Chain A
Amino acid sequence: MGELLKTVLHETHVALGATMVDFGGWHMPLQYREGIVEEHLATRRGAGLFDVSHMGRFIVRGACALAFLQHLLTNNAAALDPGFAQYTMIQSGSGDALDDAYLYRFVPGEYLLVVNAANKDADWRYLQGMRPGFPGAELEDVSERMAMISLQGPSSRPILQGLIEAGALPEPLKNALATVSIAGTEVLIARTGYTGEPLGFELFLASADAPLLWDLLREKGATPVGLGARDTLRLEAGLPLYGHELGKDPTGAEIPIFASPLARFAVSFSPLKDAFVGREVLAAQFAALKKIRDEDYSSRADLPRIVMPFALRGKGIARAGFRVFKDGREAGFVTSGTMVPYWKTDGIGLSTRFTGEREMRAIGLMLVDSRLRKDDTVEIEIRSNRTPAVVVPYHMRSDAPPHAMPILPHRREACPTPGSGEWDGKVRGLLERALENTRWRQTECINLIPSEQTTSPAVRRLSIMDPAFRYAEHRTLPAFMDAEVFYYQGTNFIEGVEEMLNAEMARYLGCQEIEARVISGQMANTTVFSALVDYLNRNDRKAEPRRIRSVLNNHIIRGGHLSAQPMGALANFVRIDPRLEKPAVVNFPVLPENPYKIDVEAAKIIIAENRPELIIFGKSMVLHREPLREISTFLREKGIDAVIMYDMAHVLGLVGPHFQEPFAEGADLVTGSTHKTFFGTQRGIVAANWREGEKRYALWEAVRSRTFPGSVSNHHLGTLLGLLMAVYEMNAFKDPYQQAVIQNAKAFARALSDTGLTVAGDPAISFTETHQVIVKVAYAKAVEAARLLEANNIICNYQAAPDEEGFTAAGALRLGVQEMTRFGMGPEDFRTLAQMIRDVIIGGRPLKEEVIAFRRRFLAMQYCFPDEAFGDLMEKLHRMI
């Protein structure tokens, strides 16, 4: 006992009654009084507190530090920006791991490498031994002076937030870092962990301060967790443990790094890494893995076995070392296995709830023949009984914060086939339900979804008239001096409509060119991205086209629209940055005191550094004007030749002196949705102000050809006709409408704030400059609030605020005043509505009947041409259906 090492929290563990064991030479807590099962469950439900100070912590700094890391670790340290961490391996030259590790970059000048306690001495000797090859690289063992504590689980976030005196939690992205002050001490925080919890933090601080921090965290409700539950938690999360899934297998043979499912996160073959240790053999493993994923086993010799999660189907518990059989033949070994507890759930999708009951399941990881696949059954030899088990893709998922969700193997259910009942009943049912839905939404609900609008009766009638069934493909032909040539017959009417639409829309937006054939805002954006790639390659159509070099946009977590993200329409149009190994997209920085507003000065620095080819303004969670003028002026001054695109989406209906005039302020291209604040049918629009002869006019021509024939063949002529009427309405009524929308939004925001709700934005300008108001409810409570409001006939969106990890953890509501403004609500009415909203979500009062009565006062549409003025024509149209 006297030889075992102790962490700075050793006395604390003993005082808490922990059962202490020898772990790799350290005297560590296996469990505390409640036991392993309770500690595991407490982490999944609340927050687990782990002393991980026994792990090794090395600082790497100095000249050659980067080259040293690139050579000896598997990750791409050149892609590791300050403020982030990466999972990595210390690899042998023969393709197996000497250790797995995490590399943190809290500050520019140095890297912190955290390694497993059991391998610390061997890792240190190895790294020191390799140092002479990298003169100037310094290595410092800080394991003693720096302690490490882990806090994992859904309650970890509020617990930690409640203790921070200065600074803030890291951004809501895995591996993000931050430095804060707690109880007068500097604490480094990383969004990393070993439990699979979507919310979790590893904390680094001076050893002397660790006991105090531990006690503070415990006081706030964190449950101390020992090594026993640390193992069950990581097993449930499918995370590898050195000595089981990495290193050597039960027979003593080396386990290839790519046998582990996390290898592809830890290993990089970036050109920025040299011929690093083990590169060739790892590349061969990776090549084999890619083929195996496609069921091509020709290179199986390079990766004969892979670690796979399994769930036991029979009785018993599978343990490390037990043999695995497939169809009677030995297929591998269990690498880790035990019985783990989980919290039961019922309901589906967003309605999933924890019931409060717990269950146990026998699960594990096994190193088996790489030809095995998900859903395959195997047999595991448990004390001479061959017990059935099934290969599963994972035991748990972390994509619905704040909770980790246990995933049990399920039996596939047959898709329900539609009943072959009488047509009469089906048709009647559909008509009745459609009537009911329209009646509900149009006469009984207050519609506050910011991206929606109701069109006028005139627009609606026109949208379903004859051109709705027709085609009118057309393009310009140089042989006819770029006149539009229509391919179909019977198109005279729609030709005229398109011409008038373009002219009227150009007048509205204040520009020369309009492309109205795109049928959604997202399609408009895809068309622009596609056109830009086309334009960039216009001088050489024979070579492999190059993609957009670099894009600057608003990140989705700060309200940027899906379209502008690599995960959305931008996918495949922007090149992969070889340093970062991901799409070359940089994001607009925001003001620290207002995450809804771009920090113009910081943005200029990013632009100068990155020289983006495309800048995309515009958001779906939007409270402010975009700094178009400042940025376009800056680009001109610096001679930076970027294309400025403003995806006006939500705010297309506000174009004008009361909000923004995009072309006057420097936009090259404007895209938008014609159905949000704009009065139109659900379509998109692309607009530009270039004239023929201008250099960039070729980009406009590319927009047109990427629309047709690139994106549409049928461009939905019915809604196109309706859109023309809508543009007439916009041009006729925009001045009073736009003023009313903005005035109502400000009044609504102020009123909501006055009722005691937290409204996002700057109170000095009444919180908003647009049609949107954002109300903060409480972390992860917005889905519930939105559903409660819907149950009371008030329809709005739940929305993740910029500091929230994902939509399932959404804590805010997004409200838009545009539709109800069109039905005649004024500032006083929005004040009444604000009180009703407060009464529903805070007071818990059922107000459905009051809301229905309230809506009855606002059924007549404003800002459109009165039916009576064209009475007979409207009537005739109506009867043509």
Chain B
Amino acid sequence: MKKIEEIHLPDELRYSPDHEWVRMESTVARVGLTDYAQDQLGDIVYAELPSVGIRVEQGAVFATVESVKSVSECIMPLAGEITAVNAFLADDPAILNRSPYGEGWMVLVKPDDPAAGERLLTAERYRAQLKGEG
């Protein structure tokens, strides 16, 4: 497991306390798992993603990610409609480990409130939370 200082947290992203990241891309938000989450999970061997078109409330479970030893629920950081899902994760869930911020994105969401992303944690605040946790 990495030390908290070693966790990679790009500055331009926003982070939820439940260990998801959000990148605002004009009208949609791209959502994925943070480097901390994938490091804690270990080898990810399965990911179950939602269908395109469904609505998910903030705080609800939108996906399940499984490692060899455990099942982890992914919590939606902002309410909205799922407009796209990363199809590559079905065949190669390990992308989530290898490239959590790049190829390992999970869903695209059209947020109810376009400003919701700004209210999430900055990299600095998220890292502080991790230190408190860890």
A residues in contact (CB < 8 Å) with B: 19, 30-31, 35-38, 228, 231-232, 315-317, 319, 338-340, 360, 362, 383
Alpha-carbon gap, A315 to B46, bound state (A): 9
CA distance A281 to B90 in the complex (A): 48
Query: How many whole Å from B45's CB to the nearest CB in chain A?
Result: 4
Q: How far is the CA of A317 from the CA of B67 in the complex (A)?
A: 10
Is A31 in contact with B46, judged by CB distance below 8 angstroms?
A: no
Say how far B35's CB is from chain A's closest CB, in angstroms. 15
How far, in angstroms, from A35 to B69 measured CA to CA in the complex? 11
Q: Are the C-beta atoms of B45 and A339 separated by less than 8 Å?
A: yes
- Contacting pair A36 B46 (CB below 8 A): no
Q: Are A317 and B43 in contact (CB under 8 A)?
A: no
Expressed in whole angstroms, the Cα–Cα distance for A35 and B43 within the complex equals 6
Q: List 9 A-B contacts (CB under 8 A).
A: A30-B69, A36-B67, A37-B45, A37-B94, A317-B45, A317-B66, A319-B71, A339-B45, A339-B46
Give every chain A residue within 8 A of B66 (Cβ-Cβ).
Answer: 317, 339
Is B1's beta carbon under 8 Å from chain A?
yes
- Smallest Cβ distance from B83 to chain A, in angstroms? 22
Give CA–CA (A31, B45) in the complex, Å: 15
Other 20 A-B pairs with CB < 8 A, given A316-B48, A340-B68: A30-B69, A31-B42, A35-B42, A36-B67, A36-B68, A36-B69, A37-B43, A37-B94, A38-B43, A228-B42, A228-B68, A231-B69, A315-B90, A317-B46, A317-B66, A338-B69, A339-B45, A339-B46, A339-B66, A383-B64
The interface size bin for chain B is 10 to 19
- Asked if residues A339 and B68 are in contact (CB atoms below 8 Å), the reply is yes
Give Cα A38–Cα B42 distance, bound, in whole angstroms: 11
A19/B1 contact (C-beta < 8 A), A35-B43, A36-B69, A37-B45 known: yes
- Nearest opposing residue in chain B for A36, CB measure: B68
Distance in angstroms between the alpha carbons of A315 and B71 in the assembled complex: 14
Q: Is the CB of B68 within 8 A of A338?
A: yes
CA of A228 to CA of B45, assembled, Å? 14
The winner among A315, A360, A362, A383 for most chain B CB atoms within 10 A is: A360
Query: Across chains A and B, which 9 residue pairs bring their CB atoms closest together, nearest first?
Result: A339-B45, A37-B43, A36-B68, A35-B43, A19-B1, A317-B46, A317-B66, A36-B43, A338-B68
CB-nearest residue of chain B to A30: B69
Set of chain A residues within 8 Å of B71, measured between Cβ atoms: 317, 319
Inter-chain CA distance A319–B48, complex, in Å, is 15
The smallest C-beta distance from B99 to any residue of chain A, in angstroms, reads: 16
Tell me the smallest distance from the CB of A70 to a CB of chain B, in Å: 39
CB-CB < 8 A to B43: which residues of A?
35-38
Contacts of B68 in A (CB 8 A): 36-37, 228, 232, 338-340
The interface residues of chain B lying within 8 Å CB-to-CB of A228 are 42, 68-69
Closest-by-CB residue of B relative to A227 is B69
Q: How far is the CA of A185 from the CA of B99 in the complex (A)?
A: 47
Q: Name the distance in Å between A334's Cβ and chain B's nearest Cβ.
A: 13
Taking the nearest CB of chain A, how far is it from the CB of B118, in angstroms? 33
Interface mask (B45-64 → A, CB under 8 Å = 1, otherwise 0): 11010000000000000001
Q: Do residues A36 and B64 form an inter-chain contact, with CB atoms below 8 A?
A: no
B10-46 interface with A by 8 A CB criterion: 42-43, 45-46
Q: Nearest Cβ distance between residue A309 and chain B, in whole angstroms? A: 18
Roughly how many angstroms separate A553 CA and B69 CA in the complex, as a whole number?
50
- Residue in contact with A316 in the complex, picked from B42, B46, B69, B94, CB distance below 8 Å: B46
Residue of B nearest to A339 (CB): B45
Give Cα A31 to B1, complex, Å: 9
Residues of B within 8 A of A19 (CB): 1, 42
Q: Which residues of A contact B48 (CB under 8 A)?
A: 315-316
Residues of chain A within 8 A of B45, CB atoms compared? 37, 317, 338-339, 360
A30 cross-chain contacts in B, Cβ below 8 A? 69
Smallest CB-CB separation from A319: which chain B residue? B71
Complex Cα–Cα for A383 and B61 (A): 13
Question: In angstroms, how far is the closest chain A Cβ from the Cβ of B47?
Answer: 10
- CB neighbours (8 Å) of B90 from chain A are 315
- Neighbouring B residues of A339 by C-beta, 8 Å: 45-46, 66, 68
In the complex, what residue of chain A is closest to B40 when comparing beta carbons? Answer: A19
Q: For B42, B45, B67, which residue has the most chain A Cβ atoms within 10 angstroms? A: B45
**Chain A proximity of B24: nearest CB distance (Å):** 31
Per-residue contact bits, chain B 1-12, to A (CB 8 Å; 1 contact, 0 not) = 100000000000
Q: Which residue of B lies closest to A20 (CB)?
A: B1
CB distance from A677 to the nearest CB of B (A): 58
